Structure 1
Amino acid sequence: MTVQKRERGGQIRWVGRYRGPDGKERSKTFDTKGAAKDWVGDREQEMRRGEWIDPDMGRVTVGEVAQRWEKLAGKEGTRANRHYLTQQLGRLDGIPVAQLRTPHINEWVSELGAGRPWAENRPVTVSTIRTLCAQLSGALHLAVEEGMIAKTPRIPRPPKPPQSISRSELVTVGEVRALAEAARDGIKGAKPGKGVRASPTLARMILTAAGTGLRPGELAGLRVRSVDFLRREVAVLEQAGLLATDGRRPLKTRASRRVVPFGNDVLDLLSEELREFPVGDQSESVFRSARGLMWTAGTTSNAFLRLREHLGLDSHVTFKSLRHFYASTLIAAGASVTMVAEYLGHASPAITLEVYAHLWPGDDDRARKAVDAVALLSAGGAGPVRDGAGRLALA
């Protein structure tokens, strides 16, 4: 490792040289001898500490690292999450990974939440930001393993949003009906292409989701043969792929595989759908698009969001709100925690309680009902009385 003096055209420059662990010699020119010596010294320390990075590797961009991270995914769901990262990098995409710093990431996280310049200034949810941060962290750890960077910059992650769904966030029967009616009749937009095309199928999907609690992918991937019209139940065995041409993919978890009973309204909806759009094969989807393709979780949710926007409903209303509607309906009818967890496909009742515990009647509610049953202001109410021996007993 040396520092050499060079003079050209009367100007003196200093060239620092060193040989890396890969055997290649590298150099850089400076205006002063001290700067050249410092640069060579820094490289020496990096090699002694095992922190030396090939400058050529450091020029690989964050976007290229994310694409490599996506290719290494083993499962389809994991690959989908990593692919989504490659689409949401914004300004990070073209930054050389060796030059990426925490302030860059902080700005990116801020844009995700406030409005993405690369996506018409539309924000994403806190849970989506957390997922993207986790995927970026994984991609940067890959960059460390492959010698592109010495260590990952700090990646902030927003606090985990509360899982509990408040009563004010539950959709009402009227709102569910309004969404279904808007889907069935369509909504004319102020400008061409800004409305919502009439879709009786989407209307039935909305009502079926409210009556079964199925996730959008589960509903989209539901086959005719998975519906038992006589017993009035659906077997949830798989879900739609990420694209309409992908076919089906495994469910989210083992617990997601379940049998869900349904009522007469859902029976009528499913029967009506198949009468209007008959199938020749029991393996086909119950619900299909106007082109005869399978719906996906994405197309279902996006169509639902357009309806919500046109109807002016709150931003917390998503297709998942229909699942919450179903759960709250079961709870109001007196269903146990275990039953609700089973029909929703939760891995354990603890998950169900985390989201819906406050919807079950508490001690205060039971106390009010007990006192009301006494009927203090009317004759004939139930309550403590004295028997013939003067002892208290419940009537």
Structure 2
Amino acid sequence: MAQKRRHFGRVRKLPSGRYQARYLGPDGQLRPAPETFRTKRDADDWLADKQTELRRGDWHDPDAGKVPFGEYAAAWIKERELTTTTRQLYGSLLRHHLEPAFGGVNVAEISPPLVRRWRADKLAFGTGPTTVAKAYALLRAIMGTAVADQMIRRNPCTIKGASTVHTPERPTATVQEVYDLAEAMQPRYRALVLMAGFLGLRWGELIGLHRRDIDLDHGAVRVRRAVAELFNGQREIKAPKSAAGKRTVAIPAAIIPDILDHLERYAEPGADGRVFIGAKGATPRRNHFNRLWRKASADAGIKNLHFHDLRHTGNTLAASTGASTRELMSRMGHSTARAALIYQHASAERDRLIADALSALVDKGRKTKRKQDPERKGHARDTAD
């Protein structure tokens, strides 16, 4: 019986007795299988799978991923449109956490087991969970681009939830605590504390305000820029993180007199004058302000509250008014509903506690009434009969 002629690929028997499979790729190059086979049937099956890939248009150049990860990752960061702070963060994560493990490894050789082992070692040797999550997220994004570039077939970062940063629930201040902190602060920063606590603005947004951004006649603040402090100590004036970050936030009437007093006493003159400046006329630095914040917190008897928690406070208060998700997104400067829903959930939980307390009062009132009128239940039964 004549042997069936092969139409795709070639199989040859090696001196070792094993079989080698080869095929002509779409690029015109003769491509050998990455391994030899024990039987001719195994080699034929491999070629059949490769032919199916070609017919589906799912073929990948096996040499495309033979690029060192460190080289590819550095180019990945360079090619992205990133803010200076994000670029510095990615560079730091790459140098300190990804390159030591993957820098010299070819992109195609980074496998799910290798990624899992790297992550487990990082956590076991004391790297903070937040840092590990951020490094993993960066690795996943880079490898995702490698998939799109057809360097690899699948992303090796497959650990569910590994890129999620789990942060503990931040505390919120009461209205009175916000005022206590404002009173304990240096007078020139009193309005800054009140605006953080009741408008929910970020530190960089507050420091970036100019006089023209505050419209007291209409009770509103226009957020158009933010001041970012870089890792090297330099500062950068930039646009908000997203288009939603450019927004107008209404000012509670209760703090307008405080803002007016601040503008008259401490802000720079002119429409372009900075609203918040230090005693020597410089834009405040976060590390210096944090020292003042810690002292004010101690003087006010408030523990474990960071300045950024005032934004959390302002957003929680806004949610407690019954604001819709879209309204909260607009006020907070978020382009997605995720954060707004968190605050609404917190507000709903508080409302549930209030309802439970009311229920207890209702039950207590009914029991008291029943004790005062023990014949009511029997009378009702007689009437029904």
Secondary structure of residue in 2 paired with 1:258: strand
Secondary structure of residue in 1 paired with 2:116: helix
Task: State the distance in 2 between where 1:367 and 1:101 align.
Answer: 56
Of the candidates 79, 101, 114, which is equivalent to residue 104 of structure 1?
114
Of the candidates 214, 221, 230, which is equivalent to residue 201 of structure 2?
214
Number of aligned residues = 335
Give the TM-score of the pair, scaled to structure 1.
Answer: 0.58
Amino acid at match of 1:170: T
Match of 2:310 in 1: 322
Amino acid at match of 1:49: E
If asked which structure has higher relative contact order (CA below 8 Å, sep 6+), I would say: 2
Task: State the distance in 1 between where 2:288 and 2:198 align.
Answer: 20
Task: State the distance in 2 between where 1:291 and 1:148 align.
Answer: 55
CA-atom RMSD, angstroms?
Answer: 5.7
Match of 1:259 in 2: 249
Secondary structure of residue in 1 paired with 2:151: coil
Of the candidates 54, 65, 68, which is equivalent to residue 61 of structure 1?
68
Structure-2 change in CA distance of 1:241 and 1:161 (3 Å): closer
Structure-2 change in CA distance of 1:29 and 1:255 (3 Å): closer
For structure 2, the 5+ residue unaligned runs are: 1-9, 370-385
Structure-2 change in CA distance of 1:86 and 1:108 (3 Å): farther
Q: How does 1:239-388 map to 2 (within 5 A)?
A: 239-240=226-227, 246-250=236-240, 252=242, 254=244, 257-262=247-252, 267-268=257-258, 271-272=261-262, 275-276=265-266, 278-279=267-268, 281-288=270-277, 300=286, 304=290, 314=304, 317-329=305-317, 335-338=321-324, 341=328, 343-345=331-333, 350=341, 352-360=343-351, 362-367=354-359
Amino acid at match of 2:156: P
Of the candidates 121, 138, 158, which is equivalent to residue 161 of structure 2?
158
Distance apart, 1:145 and its partner CA:
2.5
Structure-2 change in CA distance of 1:324 and 1:149 (3 Å): same
Structure-2 change in CA distance of 1:366 and 1:272 (3 Å): same
Q: Show CA shifts across 1:184-213 (max 9, x none).
A: 6xxxxxxxxxxxxxxx87776444312321
Distance apart, 1:227 and its partner CA:
1.2
Secondary structure of residue in 2 paired with 1:247: strand
Task: State the distance in 2 between where 1:270 and 1:115 align.
Answer: 53
Q: Is the 8 A contact 1:52 1:150 kept in 2?
A: no
Of the candidates 112, 126, 130, which is equivalent to residue 124 of structure 1?
130
Give the TM-score of the pair, scaled to structure 2.
Answer: 0.59
Identity of counterpart residues, as a percentage?
Answer: 24
Structure-2 change in CA distance of 1:331 and 1:144 (3 Å): closer
Of the candidates 145, 169, 176, which is equivalent to residue 142 of structure 1?
145
Task: State the distance in 1 between where 2:273 and 2:118 align.
Answer: 42
Amino acid at match of 1:279: E
Task: State the distance in 2 between where 1:116 and 1:182 align.
Answer: 41
Match of 2:213 in 1: 226
Match of 2:27 in 1: 22
Task: State the distance in 2 between where 1:60 and 1:291 align.
Answer: 53
Structure-2 change in CA distance of 1:336 and 1:321 (3 Å): same
Secondary structure of residue in 2 paired with 1:235: strand
Task: State the distance in 2 between where 1:48 and 1:115 align.
Answer: 43
Structure-2 change in CA distance of 1:343 and 1:359 (3 Å): farther
Task: State the distance in 2 between where 1:289 and 1:318 align.
Answer: 20
Q: Show CA shifts across 1:196-240 (max 9, x none).
A: xxxx87776444312321133432332221113455542234444
Q: Is the 8 A contact 1:17 1:26 kept in 2?
A: yes
Secondary structure of residue in 2 paired with 1:155: coil
Q: Is the 8 A contact 1:82 1:135 kept in 2?
A: no
Amino acid at match of 2:27: D
> Which one has a bigger Cα radius of gyration?
2
Q: Show CA shifts across 1:226-267 (max 9, x none).
A: 113455542234444675654331453538623221456575
Task: State the distance in 1 between where 2:62 and 2:333 align.
Answer: 50
Of the candidates 48, 53, 62, which is equivalent to residue 49 of structure 1?
53
Structure-2 change in CA distance of 1:5 and 1:353 (3 Å): closer
Task: State the distance in 2 between where 1:286 and 1:233 align.
Answer: 14
Task: State the distance in 2 between where 1:292 and 1:111 align.
Answer: 48
